[in-house]
Amino acid sequence: MGGLVGLLVVVVLLVIVVGWLIGIYNGLVRLRNEVKNAWSQIDVQLKRRHDLIPNLIETVKGYMTHERGTLENITKARSMAMSATGVEARGQAEGLLSQALGQLRVAVEAYPDLKANQNFLSLQEELTSTENKVGFSRQSYNDQVMQLNNKIQMFPSNIVAGMFNFQQEKFFEIAAPEEREVPKVSFT
């Protein structure tokens, strides 16, 4: 009789522990999927930005005769960004592209005709929005990554994470130099 009760207690405890481990495991899987999903959202927006650029250059080229260097920079940064792989490398390349586009934004100020061009205005709106969307999806990606990494590092979920080899993910940082150094614009 005593043996039976003891066995029952052991079985119940075992069920509780296993259920708890399953819960942690499922939580980790869900987080990992959310990170993947958030990354694909960033991917969509980055691709959209890359697709917009040839169109933009085509529109701008006719007006901006003195900005050959700026336009070449953008084209170069775009092809670099498109070929970059891995979270960190892509972040860097996209940062350079953002910087090049920022220079274009400043240069446009000298061309009132261009600023009145309907086609250019709608392209500019698309570009602005795409950049915002990259920013917002990056924010939610990084939030998810932080949650996953916390789970992988913290006790007791770190045990389950170790058992099933869950990897920590990297944050996606777009190096944004233009936010730190304000572009110089002269109004003379």
Partner 1 sequence: MWEQIRANQRKSVVVVLAMALLLGALGFFIGMAFFTAPSHPVYAEYPGHGPRTPQMDFTGGFLGLTIAMAVWFFMTLISYFAGANILLAASGARQIQKEDHPQLFNVVEEMSIAAGLPKMPDVYVMDDMAVNAFATGRDPRHAAVTVTAGLLGKLNRDQLQGVIAHEVGHIYNRDILFMQMLGVMAGSIVIIADTFTRSLWYSGGRRRSGRSSSEGGGGQGQAIMMVIAVVLAILAPILAQIIFLVASRRREYLADAQAAVFTRYPEGLASALEVISRDPVELSSVNRVTAPMYITNPLKGMSVAGLFSTHPPTEERIHILRNMGGNATFAEYQRAAQSVGESGALPVAALVGDKTVPIRGAHPDAVAAQDVRQQTRQVGDMLRAANHFTFVTCSCGVRMKIPPNFTQSQVQCPRCHATLAVPSN
The position carrying tokens 């498109």 is 82
Give least dist CB 136 to partner 1, A. 4
Contact between 122 and partner 1 per CB under 8 A: yes
Compare residues 41 and 79 and give the one whose CB is closer to partner 1. Answer: 41
Exposed/middle/buried for residue 176 (C-beta within 10 Å: 0-12, 13-18, 19+): middle
Give least dist CB 133 to partner 1, A. 5
8 A C-beta contact, residue 31 and residue 151: yes
Contact between 133 and partner 1 per CB under 8 A: yes
8 A C-beta contact, residue 127 and residue 52: yes
Candidates 48, 82, 111, 126: give the one binding partner 1 (CB under 8 A): 126
CA distances from 124 to 26, 83, 84, 135 (A): 43, 24, 25, 16
Spatial distance between the Cα atoms of 95 and 78, rounded to a whole number of angstroms: 10
Contact between 173 and partner 1 per CB under 8 A: no
Residues 30-59 that bind partner 1 (CB under 8 A): 41
Interface with partner 1 (CB under 8 A): 41, 105, 122, 124-126, 128-129, 132-133, 136-137, 139-140, 179
